[in-house]
Amino acid sequence: MLIISLAVVSCKKKTARHTAILRSDFDLHSDLGEFKNKMTDVDTIKLFFDHSVCTYEGLERIEITKKSDSLKVRSLFKELTFKDHNDPEWQIMYEKSISENDTVWPLHMFIARNNHRQNSTSQHRRILSITHHSDTLNFYTDGLADLNRFLQDYYLTMKRLHPENKNGIYGYDILEE
pLDDT in tens, 31-88: 988 898 889 999 999 999 999 998 889 999 999 999 988 999 999 999 888 766 667 7
Return the amino acid letter for 88.
P
Q: Is 79 exposed, middle or buried (0-12, 13-18, 19+ CB in 10 A)?
A: middle
Of 173, 172, 166, nearest in space to 76 by CA: 166
User: 100 and 37 in contact (C-beta within 8 Å)?
Assistant: yes
| DSSP-assigned beta bridge partners for residue 79 | 58
Q: Kindly report the backbone phi and psi dihedral angles of residue 39, in degrees, each rounded to the nearest multiple of 5, phi listed first.
A: -70, 150
**pTM exceeds cut of 0.85:** no
Q: Is 72 exposed, middle or buried (0-12, 13-18, 19+ CB in 10 A)?
A: middle
